[in-house]
């Protein structure tokens, strides 16, 4: 209240600016995720002349790597860290995408813009910059165009081409994301009772781009199909969680609760253009999470973010109404959607006390790992200003193959899994023969020291290394991250630090 008793009102235009400022502060405080650090390492090696899917192997399609390439090029040109450059680029892109979405929807209030900015810039937390986050930023203009179509409004061709072109990039990152492209148009087709709505020009542009991309990858990067697809079939897909376990997990249950409460709050308005398209897109990405079958937090991000964009359309009117039949379910929908954010609040592994000893021992070290999790190697390589020289991000092939080997009785399947174990051993030994300065060895739960000693060549190659430092993770942290011990090449211990 002011001194004269009048209520102070905050200009609604300040809210979007405050959200952008909050996002910038969060990004300055929160480290980038290990997955992104690993993909940036792919880009660095690529710029150094390494062959993707040969000299360095990532399980995702090429576009999942190339989205980080512009920031890595800027790093080479300016010396600015690629991770920071990428974060700044994505903050700018997310803001621009949210603004364009808002303009397309032609919503006169700032409630929608603020909710979209919050969902895109603040809500990701530790998922910021993940492939799912980038995909949502790319798809927002398409959703704006879809909302216009759902309302029967015309869309200018430049906007159709822009939205379709950006949307076409999303399933290039992960083919699953095509479900997030298709879902809003399925809603429009049902709403308008016109199956031809599925053939909207922006959707056709996106589909054509995806088809052309698949042909280009097959022709110019055949190693992806030759080297990675067999890995995915034999070792990655079999590690999916059972469908019932995914369906009864926290994320789908809370999403369903959000959707039910949203319907109870607004009833038929759930099928209005804005809310309907956003909820349909959210459902599409929920299906993406279920199909992937990993239940990892960032896989749920687009579904959560899109629901966070839709709910304020119900909550704000409900709070100003006197009807508790609207107010209570609207607030419940918001709480259920916001509950997901706790899953995005687990911030990254910071090296656990290993970084400082590595920096003291070797300047700009070359690094590889013998561990299950990619997390120790990334960000340790970046934080020590080092260069990753491993072919894979970790020894996940060995860990997965061993796990599956213990759970199959089929002789043919066992022989294939043993072949993968031999393959990963060969790759590890080949990487060790590069004589990296630092080797990061996992401390569990898999017995990596025992794995090293089980092969004469691996054991012999590791004789050139001495223990340097173990991480300082707490027991609670060890439930989340694999422990790590850093080994340094013995000839570097007594020698002066390399310039």
The CA–CA distances, whole Å, from 85 to 27, 81, 94 equal 12, 6, 14
Position 465 scores a pLDDT of 97
484-489 vs 438-442, strand pairing mode: antiparallel
The CA–CA distances, whole Å, from 459 to 242, 393, 455 equal 37, 21, 6
For 215, what's the count of Cα atoms within 13 Å in the CB-facing half-sphere?
Answer: 6
- Top pLDDT among 223 and 112 is at 223
What average pLDDT does the segment 189-194 reach? 91
Q: Burial code of 149-168, b = ≥16 C-beta within 10 A, e = fewer?
A: bbbeeebeeebbebbbbbbb
Tokens representing residue 142 in the block: 């398409």
- Top pLDDT among 6 and 422 is at 422
Query: How crowded is residue 412: how many other Cβ atoms within 10 Å of its Cβ?
Result: 8
- The pTM (predicted TM-score) of the whole model is 0.92
CB 286 within 8 Å of CB 255: yes
* Full 3-state SS string of 449-468: HHHHHCCHHHHHHHCCEEEE
Inform me whether the pLDDT recorded for 89 exceeds 50: yes
CA distance 163 to 145: 7
Inform me whether the pLDDT recorded for 284 exceeds 70: yes
CA distance 148 to 18: 28
What average pLDDT does the segment 464-475 reach? 88
Q: Kindly report the average pLDDT of the chain as a whole number.
A: 90
CB 327 within 8 Å of CB 319: yes
Tokens representing residue 445 in the block: 């739960």
Inform me whether the pLDDT recorded for 7 exceeds 60: no
Position 76 scores a pLDDT of 96
CA distance 468 to 33: 25
Position 350 scores a pLDDT of 61
Contacts of 134 (CB under 8 A, 6+ apart): 67, 90, 170, 173
Q: Burial code of 332-351, b = ≥16 C-beta within 10 A, e = fewer?
A: bbbebbbebbebbeeebbeb
Position 474 scores a pLDDT of 76
* CA 285 to centroid of chain Cα atoms: 13
- At 470, give phi and psi (nearest 5°): -105, 155
- At 406, give phi and psi (nearest 5°): -75, -10
| Residue 420 backbone class (left: φ over 0; alpha: ψ -120 to 50; beta: rest) | alpha
- Top pLDDT among 433 and 323 is at 433
Query: How crowded is residue 267: how many other Cβ atoms within 10 Å of its Cβ?
Result: 12
Inform me whether the pLDDT recorded for 322 exceeds 80: no
CA distance 496 to 254: 56
Inform me whether the pLDDT recorded for 8 exceeds 90: no
CB 36 within 8 Å of CB 130: yes
3-state secondary structure of 76: helix
Query: DSSP characters for 471-489?
Result: ----HHHHTTS--EEEEEE
Closest CA to 188 of 271, 105, 75: 271
Inform me whether the pLDDT recorded for 154 exceeds 50: yes
CA distance 235 to 231: 5
CA distance 34 to 26: 17
Inform me whether the pLDDT recorded for 353 exceeds 50: yes
Closest CA to 281 of 255, 249, 307, 311: 307
The CA–CA distances, whole Å, from 423 to 91, 227, 229, 373, 417 equal 41, 12, 15, 18, 10
For 208, what's the count of Cα atoms within 13 Å in the CB-facing half-sphere?
Answer: 10
Model pLDDT for residues 289-316, shown as the tens digit of each residue: 999 999 899 999 999 999 999 998 778 7
* CB-count burial class (<10 Å; 0-12, 13-18, 19+) for 121: buried
In this prediction, residue 351 has a pLDDT band, given cuts at 50, 70 and 90, of: low
The CA–CA distances, whole Å, from 319 to 268, 315, 377, 381 equal 18, 6, 48, 50
What average pLDDT does the segment 365-381 reach? 91
In this prediction, residue 481 has a pLDDT band, given cuts at 50, 70 and 90, of: confident
Inform me whether the pLDDT recorded for 451 exceeds 90: yes
What average pLDDT does the segment 280-286 reach? 97
Inform me whether the pLDDT recorded for 61 exceeds 50: yes
């Amino acid at each position: 209240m002011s001194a004269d008793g009048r209520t102070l009102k905050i200009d609604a235009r300040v809210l979007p600016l405050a959200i952008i400022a909050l996002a910038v502060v969060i990004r300055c405080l929160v480290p980038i995720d290990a997955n992104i650090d690993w993909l940036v390492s792919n880009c660095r090696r690529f710029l150094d002349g390494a062959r993707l899917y040969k000299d360095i192997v990532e399980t995702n399609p090429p576009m999942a790597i190339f989205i980080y390439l512009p920031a890595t090029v800027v790093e080479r040109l300016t010396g600015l860290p690629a991770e920071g450059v990428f974060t700044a680029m994505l903050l700018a892109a997310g803001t621009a995408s949210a603004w364009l979405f808002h303009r397309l929807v032609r919503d006169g209030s700032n409630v929608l813009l603020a909710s979209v900015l919050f969902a895109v810039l603040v809500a990701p937390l530790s998922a910021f910059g993940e492939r799912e986050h980038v995909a949502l930023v790319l798809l927002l203009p398409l959703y704006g165009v879809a909302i216009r179509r759902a309302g029967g409004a015309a869309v200018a061709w430049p906007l159709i081409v822009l939205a379709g072109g950006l949307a076409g990039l999303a399933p290039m990152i992960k083919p699953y994301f095509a479900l997030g492209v298709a879902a809003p148009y399925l809603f429009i087709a049902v709403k308008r009772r016109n199956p031809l709505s599925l053939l909207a020009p922006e959707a056709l542009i996106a589909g054509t781009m995806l088809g052309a991309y698949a042909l280009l990858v097959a022709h110019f990067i055949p190693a992806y199909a030759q080297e990675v697809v067999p890995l995915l079939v034999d070792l990655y897909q079999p590690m999916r969680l059972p469908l019932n376990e995914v369906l009864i997990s926290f994320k789908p249950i809370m999403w369903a609760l959000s959707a039910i409460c949203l319907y109870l709050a607004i009833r038929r308005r759930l099928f209005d253009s804005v809310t309907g398209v956003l909820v349909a897109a959210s459902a599409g990405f929920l299906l993406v999470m279920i199909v992937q079958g990993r239940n990892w937090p960032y896989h749920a991000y687009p579904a959560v973010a899109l629901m966070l964009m839709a709910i304020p359309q119900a909550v704000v009117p409900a709070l100003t109404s006197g009807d508790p039949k609207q107010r209570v379910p609207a607030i419940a929908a918001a709480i259920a959607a916001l509950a997901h954010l706790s899953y995005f609040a687990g911030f990254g592994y910071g090296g656990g006390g290993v970084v400082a000893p590595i920096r003291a021992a070797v300047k700009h070290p070359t690094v590889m790992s013998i561990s299950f999790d990619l997390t120790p190697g990334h960000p340790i390589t970046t934080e020590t200003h080092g260069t990753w020289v491993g072919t894979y991000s970790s020894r996940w092939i060995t860990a997965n193959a061993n796990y599956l080997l213990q759970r199959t009785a089929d002789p043919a399947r066992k022989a294939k899994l043993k072949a993968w174990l031999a393959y990963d051993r060969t790759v590890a030994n080949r990487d060790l023969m590069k004589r990296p300065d630092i080797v990061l060895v996992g401390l569990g739960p898999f017995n990596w020291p025992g794995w090293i000693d089980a092969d004469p060549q691996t054991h012999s190659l590791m004789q050139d290394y001495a223990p340097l430092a173990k991480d300082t993770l707490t027991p609670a942290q060890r439930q989340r991250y694999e422990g790590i011990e850093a080994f340094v090449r013995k000839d570097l211990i007594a020698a002066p630090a390399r310039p």
